[in-house]
């Protein structure tokens, strides 16, 4: 476990329109105020060779959705940074994991967290495979766990409030449209 700070309220995020065209840049804190300003983001799902997905419980220090379970890694590319590079950087900063990532799709969503702010993101969803043991960054992550896909399906129904809104949306899409592609990661020699 390490504790280097890798996320900053004043880091410039990439403002986009619904077509993912860059409109400008604004600090992260402002992008998450009120109903949020649409900005580019990414979500990474890492699977191990047993077909389990790695989840993280967000740190208690997080402004939005603290102590809520989410996918392996999610964040924002910074000004001038391409999404695939940002995803690799963040995967390493948060979990000490390196993996080849594959882009699946992108979508827009908006979700508010009490009166603390909102996510309004044009989110790129990527997948990868790794059997590396996570080396978590305590500033970002409270804990991690691998879970079987069927068990995650059940958990999302039984305790929906324990999981982030974007995990609900993305997992449903992965299961419905991309599952054969995901399974091929651990079944292909």
What proportions of the chain, in percent to the nearest 5, are helix, strand and coil?
30, 35, 35
* Per annotation, catalytic residue among 94, 121, 140, 170: 121
Among residues 31, 57, 73, 74, the one annotated as catalytic is: 74
**Annotated catalytic residue 74:** yes
Residue ranges in the chain assigned as alpha helix (H): 28-31, 83-95, 149-158, 165-177, 179-187
Q: How far apart are the C-alpha atoms of 100 and 113, rounded to whole Å? A: 32
- Report yes or no: 104 and 175 within 8 Å, Cβ to Cβ: no
Q: Is 31 a catalytic residue?
A: no
Give the span between the Cα atoms of 170 and 37, in whole angstroms.
Answer: 20
Write phi, then psi, for 26 (nearest 5 degrees).
-155, 150
DSSP letter (8 states) at residue 35: T
Q: Are 132 and 144 in contact (CB under 8 A)?
A: no
Determine the Cα–Cα distance for residues 114 and 133; give it in Å rounded to an integer.
Answer: 34
Kindly list the catalytic residues: 74, 121
């Amino acid at each position: 476990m390490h504790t280097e700070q890798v996320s900053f309220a004043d880091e410039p995020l990439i403002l986009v329109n619904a077509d993912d065209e860059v409109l400008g840049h604004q600090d992260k804190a402002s992008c998450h105020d009120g109903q949020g300003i649409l900005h580019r983001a990414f979500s990474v799902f890492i699977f191990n060779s047993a077909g389990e997905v790695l989840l993280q419980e967000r740190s208690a220090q997080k402004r939005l959705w603290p102590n809520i379970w989410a996918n392996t890694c999610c964040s924002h590319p910074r000004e001038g940074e391409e999404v695939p590079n940002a995803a690799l950087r963040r995967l390493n900063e948060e979990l000490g994991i390196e993996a080849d990532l594959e882009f699946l799709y992108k979508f827009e969503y908006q979700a508010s967290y009490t009166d603390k702010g909102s996510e309004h993101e044009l989110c790129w969803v990527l997948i990868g495979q790794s059997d590396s043991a996570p080396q978590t960054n305590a500033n970002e992550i409270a804990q991690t766990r691998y879970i079987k896909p069927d068990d995650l399906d059940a958990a999302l129904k039984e305790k929906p409030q324990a999981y982030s809104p974007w995990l609900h949306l993305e997992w449903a899409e992965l299961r419905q449209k991309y599952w054969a592609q995901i399974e091929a990661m651990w079944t292909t020699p």
